[in-house]
Structures are given as C-alpha cells and as structure tokens.
Amino acid sequence: MQPPTILLLGTVDTKGDEIAFVRQCIEHAGGHALVMDVGVLGGGSGKADIADITSSEVAAAAGMTLQQTAASGDENSAMRTMARGASLLALQLQAQGRIDGMLALGGTMGTDLALDVALGLPLGFPKVLLSTIAYSPLLPAERIAPDLIMVLWAGGLYGLNSLCRSALSQAAGAVIGACRSVVKPDPQRPMVGMTSLGSSVLGYMKLLKPELERRGYELAVFHATGMGGHAFETLAAQGRFVAVMDLCLQELVNHLGGSCVTAGADRLLGAGRAGVPQIVAPGATDMVDYAAWAELPARFQGRASHMHNRLIASVCIDPPMRRSIARAVTERLGRARGPTALLLPTQGVEGWDRIGQPLHDPEGLQALVDELRSSVQPGTQLVELDAHINDASFAAAALQVFDRWVDDGLIARPAATGLAVA
C-alpha cells in the first residue's frame, strides 16, 4: 500500500513548531505530510520553510495577493480570504488524487478556516480537526462536515508541551489510521436517503429497507437530531441520492422553535434545489426537542413532554405552531425542482402520537392535517392516508410512489440488475 499523503493545514506564522511536530508524527506513522500554510503574516517561528504550499499561493487561489489579504483591515476578513483559497486548493488536490486525508489544527481562527475546507471535501475522505474549541457550542451544526473527526487540543494555545504533544500525535495517528482503513462509499450503487428517529418513535425504515434493497437500492438512514439532518441535506444537495424519503421533519420544527437540536436553516431544501425526487412526510412534526439536562423553555411550559434519555427530551407543540410548521413544509416543498410527493398520515405522525401515549394531541394533529391540506402547492402531489405513520400501509404508500417514479424514469434503475419493480 502506498503511504498516505495528508494535507496538513495550519498557520505557520503562529504554530510553526506544532506543525513541524505533527509532520514528524505523520512520517513516523508511515505517511507523508503536505503542509499548507494558511497564515497571513508569513514566516513566523523560523519555520517558513516547512510549507509545501505557501500562504501566498493560498491567497492567490482566492484571487488576492498575501499583501492585499494582510492589509484588508481585520483578521476576520483576512482569514475568510485564506479559507476560500485553502478550500479551492484542497478540493483540487483531492480531485487530482494527490492527497488521501486532511488534518488541520488551530484555535478559533484556524478552526473557522478548517471547517470550510472540510465541508468542501467529499464524504468518505478522511478529515481530522485538532481544535482548542472542539465540540464547543460555538460550532453551528451546519458548518461541520458530516464525517469530520474532532480532537480537543488541550493545552495547545501557545507552544509545545507534553499535553499538546499527546493531542497532536493522537490526531496524526487518527488521520493515518483513517486513510488506511476507510472503505469509501460505492458511487455505482444507487442510494436512497431517508430521515428518521429511533425505532421506538418512527419504525417505517424497518419495512422500507428490505423492500428497497430487494429492488436493488442501497438505503442510508439519517438520525434526524441535528447533525444527521445536516449530513442528509449536504448529500442531497450534492446529488448523492437517486431519491430521498424525507419522512421525519422534526429538525425543521426544532429550527423554527428555537431549539439547539437543529440541522440549520436549509432543512427540507437540499433535495428540492438539486431536483432529486423526494417523498416527504410530516414525521415527528408534533414536537420540539430540547436538551434534557436544560430547563424546559418558558414558551413550552405546561405542554405535554417526554424525556427520551438524559440527553434529549421532547415537548408537544400547540395547534397554532403546528399550522405554522405545516405552512413552512408546503412552502419549502413548493420550491422543489424535481418530483415531490407529500404523504399525509392522518392518524398520527410518531410513536408517542397515539391514544394513551404521552404526546397524543388530537386537536393539534387535526390542525396540522388541515393546514397541510389547504396549503399544499400545485407542484406537490398530496397522498392522504387514513393511517398512522408507523403502519404498514404508510410504508406501502411510500413504495407505491417510489415504484411509479421508477417506472416513469424519474428514479434511475440499478444498472446491474436491470430492475423490474413489483
């Protein structure tokens, strides 16, 4: 096996010693480091010569000289320029097969830049970020690449020490190990993207997965708890799916309800913008998730709630909010450039939304159903079902739409089988 080449990003002007140490760690582990200097001051620490790609080259990739970048007036604008250049160069290197993984290190500035670079690289390409703010609430979900590995750079703000060396060497080992072990996604097998929650709440994937696989498709189910939806939207927008079954929209409710459990403002837009066929349902749109260890937000006091575990809890939303959610759903679906179907299960939208369950609210469910009916836009096919979302008839209806779109040529058939769907 060829030694993996790691794109090593950092500001040589402030962290030259640390970058030199990481390069040694990568080489000791049997890899090769390609150092990209993203600092705007140039040189620093007497280590300017360690850069294989200079900061001037990074700035030039963004259409600026280093001098112009440094003179832009503030660190924020200068590092944004460097982020654009670094992202473009990293993607070029990856496309040319010159790098096998990415390792970036930084404080807030370096982390900010590295997040952009990681987002621009494809899923399955190993990417590790050693950061002094790893896992911090400063990092919004929409800025984190779906497969980014983060390591806390403890004691790494200024200069090398034993704690710092431990973190740096672990990060180097992590990216080398990832490069050697990764099984990259198979681009030849058509994949369907799906959103859901755990099977105690939404169980349709148990019925849909074997049926889609029998038809020759691969199914990827994304956990709709913030980062999962963000990954789903990213891949859908990139056209990585032949179709999506976006059957759990709870992250949209969370976003509009001000919850931290969000996939960002673009939820329910990625597939539509890319023209990807989408089968959508209002799964779990009856509740807002919040951190179980935090106090219930004041606006939801008095509403029925359910603590799922020590991390996450859910509170039932009122009928007016359900109506506003319904309008947000239909408005976003109305922007879609590809085939769109909205499945509407009138007997409940998640497992706790049944008679005797903690979040059952017939008035709220009726408000959602009525608003979806009245606000659905002409380009969206409405399929109303006298069923609960976890019923077998719901899964059967989703498959019926899917099979029809395959027959109509809207969804590609698996090339290897020449599929003939039932």
CATH topology of domain 191-407: Rossmann fold (3.40.50)
Q: Is the pLDDT of residue 24 over 60?
A: yes
Return the bridge partners of 221, or none. 194
For residues 150 and 157, which has the higher predicted lDDT (pLDDT)?
150
- Rounded percentage of the chain residues whose pLDDT exceeds 90: 68
* pLDDT tens-digit map of 240-265: 899 999 999 999 999 998 888 888 89
Burial track 315-343 (b if 16+ CB lie within 10 A, e otherwise): bbbebebbbbbbebbbebbeebebbbbbb
| Band of residue 420 on the pLDDT scale cut at 50, 70, 90 | very low
Min mean pLDDT across 45-54, 120-129, 342-351 is at: 45-54
CB-based contacts of 24: which residues, under 8 Å, 6+ apart? Answer: none
Distance CA 223, CA 230 (A): 10
* pLDDT tens-digit map of 161-194: 998 899 999 999 999 999 999 887 777 789 999 9
Q: What is the pLDDT of residue 291?
A: 85
Q: What is the pLDDT of residue 307?
A: 84
Q: What is the pLDDT of residue 336?
A: 97
Q: What is the pLDDT of residue 419?
A: 44
Return the bridge partners of 194, or none. 221, 245
Q: What is the pLDDT of residue 130?
A: 95
For residues 25 and 355, which has the higher predicted lDDT (pLDDT)?
25
Q: What is the pLDDT of residue 42?
A: 59
| Band of residue 416 on the pLDDT scale cut at 50, 70, 90 | low
How far CA 296 is from CA of 93, 204, 270, 292, 361, in Å, comes to 47, 30, 31, 8, 19
Question: What's the CATH architecture for 5-181?
Answer: 3-Layer(aba) Sandwich (3.40)
The three-state secondary structure class of 197 is: coil
Q: Is the pLDDT of residue 109 over 60?
A: yes
Residue 220 burial (10 A CB sphere; 0-12, 13-18, 19+): middle
Q: pTM of the full predicted structure?
A: 0.84
* pLDDT tens-digit map of 267-302: 999 999 999 999 999 999 999 998 888 888 888 888
The helix (H) or strand (E) run that includes residue 209 is: helix 204-214
| Band of residue 142 on the pLDDT scale cut at 50, 70, 90 | confident
Q: What is the pLDDT of residue 305?
A: 84
Could you tell me the residue ranges of all domains in the chain? 5-181, 191-407
* pLDDT tens-digit map of 189-240: 899 999 999 888 999 999 999 999 999 999 999 999 888 898 899 889 988 8
Q: What is the pLDDT of residue 421?
A: 43
| Band of residue 99 on the pLDDT scale cut at 50, 70, 90 | very high
The helix (H) or strand (E) run that includes residue 13 is: helix 12-28
| Band of residue 44 on the pLDDT scale cut at 50, 70, 90 | very low
